[in-house]
């Protein structure tokens, strides 16, 4: 980003580009913080600018690089107490970097405020001030000076990033919805397209359901009638005993003697 800013007069970037870059940096921080890490050294030297062929909302694309100083949330660098009482590059560090060295997500948001200020003014934070004095100023609750000439929404955004209480800075995701960063028109158009597509889909689904109900109420066709006229198959069971025996078991037996014309030793008896 440093070399890119050198292409502009006094290293001051146009405001639309500043807002685009700020939003892209925040999107990157949302991803980094979402994985449980803090970059700890956000500055122009660690931001890479590319011509954009994929983004419709900007001609350039910015990427966060150099994760050599990155720490897990809540971690303290090994060198903090002995060699170097800063978590990252001093002029971009917040008061807690000097006070306790703990890497929290809000640390990167202070650095982002320094970046936004620098893109507007072309001047680095704490210019001309020694490191020892910077540490003293930070401990006393001071922040880099914000020029009065900046737009009010930009000043409000930077002041939020420079809050002495880390919790008052919010999160990277929350800052994406700050008034300083209006939602891109392309996103609004995409939302309208999605809503329109969703409404069209629901309308088609409703029509299909209505059509399905009407089909159920229609008279059956000839083929359906032909099928319905066919009688269902019936299985025929054969009795295990003779039919006459089965009927006999359910009645009282009656014996009737039938006289025979010819004499014989016995008479036939019929069973009814």
Domain residue ranges of the chain, discontinuous segments joined by + = 2-182
Reading the block at residue 94, the tokens are: 């917040």
From 106, 95, 99, select the one nearest 40 (Cα to Cα). Answer: 106
254: which 2 tokens? Answer: 């009656």
257 phi, psi to nearest 5 deg: -85, 135
Q: What is the pLDDT of residue 41?
A: 94
Choice among 41, 83, 100, 168 that is catalytic: 41
Determine what percent of the chain falls in helix, strand and coil, rounding each to the nearest 5.
50, 10, 45
Q: Is 168 a catalytic residue?
A: no
Residues of the chain below pLDDT 50: 186-190, 194, 225, 245-246, 248-249, 264, 266, 269, 271
Return left, alpha or beta for 60; rule: phi > 0 is left, psi -120 to 50 is alpha, else beta.
Answer: beta
The DSSP secondary-structure symbol of 7 reads: T
Q: Are 209 and 202 in contact (CB under 8 A)?
A: no
Q: What is the pTM of this model?
A: 0.67
pLDDT for the residue numbered 79: 74
Distances (CA, A) of 97 to 13, 132, 212, 256: 28, 13, 67, 125
Residue with tokens 């890490």: 37
Predicted confidence (pLDDT) per residue in 38-60, tens digit: 999 999 999 999 998 766 667 89
Residue 59's pLDDT is 86
Q: Which of helix, strand or coil describes residue 74?
A: coil
Structure tokens at 198: 């969703």
Question: Do the Cβ atoms of 119 and 151 come closer than 8 Å?
Answer: no
Cβ(167)–Cβ(106) below 8 Å? yes
Assign domain 2-182 to its CATH architecture. Answer: Orthogonal Bundle (1.10)
pLDDT the model gives residue 149: 94
Query: What stretch of H or E contains 37?
Result: strand 37-38
């Amino acid at each position: 980003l440093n070399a890119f800013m050198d292409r502009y007069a006094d290293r001051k970037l146009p405001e639309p580009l500043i807002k685009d870059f700020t939003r892209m940096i925040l999107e990157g921080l949302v991803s980094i913080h979402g994985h449980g890490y803090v970059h700890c050294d956000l500055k122009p030297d660690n931001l890479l600018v590319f011509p954009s062929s994929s983004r419709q909302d900007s001609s350039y694309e910015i990427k966060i690089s150099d994760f050599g100083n990155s720490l897990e949330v809540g971690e303290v660098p090994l060198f903090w107490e002995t060699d170097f009482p800063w978590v990252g590059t001093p002029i971009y560090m917040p008061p807690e970097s000097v006070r306790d060295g703990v890497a929290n997500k809000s640390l990167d948001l202070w650095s982002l405020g320094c970046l936004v200020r620098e893109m507007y003014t072309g001047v680095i934070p704490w210019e001309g001030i020694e490191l020892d004095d910077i540490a003293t100023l930070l401990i006393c609750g001071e922040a880099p000076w914000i020029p009065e000439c900046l737009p009010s929404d930009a000043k409000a955004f930077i002041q939020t990033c420079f809050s002495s209480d880390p919790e008052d800075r919010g999160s990277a995701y929350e800052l994406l919805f700050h008034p300083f960063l209006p939602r891109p028109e392309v996103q609004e158009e995409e939302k309208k397209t999605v809503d329109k597509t969703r409404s069209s889909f629901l309308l088609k689904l409703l029509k299909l359901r209505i059509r399905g109900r009407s089909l159920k109420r229609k008279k059956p066709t000839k083929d359906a009638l032909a099928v319905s006229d066919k009688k269902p198959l019936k299985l025929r069971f054969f009795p295990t005993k003779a039919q006459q025996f089965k009927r006999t078991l359910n009645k009282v037996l009656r014996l009737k003697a039938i006289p025979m014309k010819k004499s014989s030793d016995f008479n036939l008896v019929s069973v009814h």
